[in-house]
Amino acid sequence: MTTPHPFGRTLCAMITPFTDAGALDLDGAQALAERLVADGCDGLVLSGTTGESPTTTDAEKAALITAVREAVDGRASVVAGVGTFDTRHTVDLALAAEKAGADGLLVVSPYYSRPPQDALEGHFREIADASGLPLVLYDIPGRTGIRIEPDTLIRLADHPRIVAVKDCSYDFLGAQKVLSRTELAYYAGCEEHNLALYAVGGAGYISTVANVVPGQLRAVLDAFDAGDTARAARLQQHATELIELLMSSGLPGAVTVKGLLNALDLPAGPVRAPLRPADRETADVLLAAYESLTAG
């Protein structure tokens, strides 16, 4: 039976820090991981979209897992993004992540090629068969161009190592359908759904915004678990401005989050091309919203 929170409740889709010269900053990654865990994250997801996975090498991905695994030292789960549009490459990344010490795998649906649902199901099953690690399936059709349909998720739930979904489908009914018919753990991948999905049986969230306000987002779920649903709603609403600025400003989350982390003098560094850094005006607006939220 799948546990309700196989990787914890409060997971951060962690950025990948780079040096000013653009190299992988493992010291920065360890420092950021330490901060995130200390401030309320009980899981870290590496090499996702926010982690700029399209621009990191396979060797960099493995080194990042090893470094973060060492930093958190069992205090938080480490989930490695391994999804690509090539099944063989994804299997190779899954095996490398397992060797590097990951606790689980985040597998996005193959992008650009848009396989039909039967081929998509076969892709996920082949990856789940390849290693001993549990899988989180990442449904984000706005980026991949293909949906993992609810009926496909329901079928995939019979695989013992397919245990969770990161949901960015914006199909709340579809998510509830899968929740009602499977034991898959559902993690909100869009911060505006953190509380809503949790309230109907979700496992928690995998959040980009948690890179900057991990404690504030965790407080929403803590209040709900304590039975204070009114406070949970207030806290969720209080975070809305920063969520909108970071995630719906027309810039990728990696750009906005790194812009804010750099303004806060926290490990981040530049983004890799083709992304471009946030300009000063954007960073100032983000900093003002951050200060408003964290002031209380």
The residue among 25, 27, 97 whose CA lies nearest residue 61 is 97
Name the nearest CA neighbour of 153 among 112, 187, 193, 120.
120
**Catalytic (active site) residue 111:** no
Choice among 138, 186, 198, 205 that is catalytic: 138
Tokens of 117: 């649902």
Is 138 tagged catalytic?
Answer: yes
43's tokens: 């899981």
Q: Which residue reads 């600025």 in tokens?
A: 245
Strands of 73-133 (E only): list them. 77-81, 104-108
Query: The tokens of 89 are what?
Result: 């490459």
* Backbone phi and psi for residue 131, each to the nearest 5 degrees, phi listed first: -135, 175
Q: How far apart are CA 64 and CA 1, in angstroms?
A: 31
Which pairs from 84-87 meet CB under 8 Å and 24+ separation?
A: 84/110, 85/110, 85/111, 85/112, 85/113, 86/110, 87/123, 87/126, 87/127
Of the candidates 166, 186, 187, 205, the residue annotated as catalytic is 166
Report the C-alpha gap between 93 and 75 in whole angstroms: 24
For residue 90, what are the CA distances in angstroms to 24, 49, 98, 133, 219?
21, 15, 12, 13, 35
Six-digit token string for 195: 């509380």
Q: Is 59 exposed, middle or buried (0-12, 13-18, 19+ CB in 10 A)?
A: exposed
Active site positions, annotated? 138, 166
